[in-house]
Amino acid sequence: MPSNAPIGFLDSGVGGVSVLNAARKALPYEDFILYGDSGNAPYGTKPEEQVISLVRAAAQELMQQGIKALVIACNTATGIALAAMQKELPIPVVGILPAIRPAQKLRKDGEILVMGTPNTVKTKAVLQLMETDGQHVLLLGCPGLMEFVEKGELSGPRLHAHLEGLLKPYLNTKIDVVALGCTHYPFLQSAIAEFFPEETQFIDGSTLTLEELNAALTEKDLYTDKKTPGTTRFMTSGGEDTLQLMDMLHKQG
């Protein structure tokens, strides 16, 4: 039966806004709520057990809002906790992973550089993708990078220096595709692109996530039947400044 309940999005912080922005374009009538766990971020350097507990608690915050489906809009949380959430929650749950397979379709004769959190590049989910689609894929864990987005620092010399430290080993390699394997990183795409030739392509996992979300909503007949623009609401374990930043990143598209 059609449902006018909101769709929940969950991330360790403000990065989930990049997935929500993509979903907003595809699903204009749906209501969205994003819970950004900025008070407990980052997830990318915490032990797995701790990440699972944090994701479980954040999912409960969203369940209390009566969501009809959950998007884990965080590669790290998906890699570590998607299976547990799908088992524990009574609603459809989809996640996001680095777009390694779609990146293969864009690759020419160079390499694919996958940037993710230190946890993401070693999760089982990513290592399985590497087994099937890992030819010419270089995995790069990026400690400290999401923190720039959490502070709203999307350009400037400090960010440039941090990126230079991370990307230095790859700057003499022909990189055809950069896969942004953390939902915070699309907000840093311009800063990252400065290190690569113009023809380098960028990709993230949100297209596949939206396909999975659409499939789940279709299967359970959960699409809203209202024809008025959907609302977007932000919740956070961080402060008022986090809410403002989410709003700014959302408006920026």
Of residues 105-144, those binding ligand DGL (CB under 6 A): 117, 120
Q: Let me know how many helices (H) and strands (E) the chain has, helices first.
A: 10, 9
> Minimum CB separation from ligand DGL for residue 53, in Å?
14
Per the annotation, the verdict on 182 as an active-site residue is yes
Q: Which residues contact 15 (CB under 8 A, 6 or more apart)?
A: 36, 73, 74, 146, 149, 182, 183, 184, 185, 187
Per the annotation, the verdict on 142 as an active-site residue is no
Stretch that binds ligand DGL, among 38-46, 55-63, 161-169, 221-229 (CB under 6 A): 38-46
- Nearest to ligand DGL of 120, 224 (CB atom): 120
Alpha carbons within 13 A on the beta-carbon side of 12:
29
Please give the backbone phi and psi of residue 43, each rounded to the nearest 5 degrees, phi first: -85, -25
> Minimum CB separation from ligand DGL for residue 197, in Å?
26
Asked if residue 120 lies in contact with residue 142, where contact means CB atoms within 8 angstroms, the answer is no
The catalytic position among 182, 191, 213, 222 is 182
Residue nearest to ligand DGL (CB): 44
d(C-alpha 201, C-alpha 193), whole Å: 9
Contact code string over 58-87 relative to ligand DGL, x by CB under 6 A: ----------------xxx-----------
Please give the backbone phi and psi of residue 50, each rounded to the nearest 5 degrees, phi first: -70, -40
In the list 43, 187, 202, 234, the residue contacting ligand DGL (rule: CB under 6 A) is 43
Q: Is 31 left (phi over 0), alpha (psi -120 to 50) or beta?
A: beta
> Minimum CB separation from ligand DGL for residue 118, in Å?
8
d(C-alpha 99, C-alpha 97), whole Å: 6
- If one asks whether residue 186 binds ligand DGL (CB under 6 A), the answer comes out as no
Stretch that binds ligand DGL, among 105-113, 123-131, 181-189, 231-239 (CB under 6 A): 181-189
Q: Give burial (CB, 10 Å; 0-12/13-18/19+) of 25.
A: exposed
**Contacting residues toward ligand DGL, per CB under 6 A:** 11-12, 15, 41-44, 74-76, 117, 120, 146, 182-184
User: Which residues are annotated as catalytic?
Assistant: 74, 182
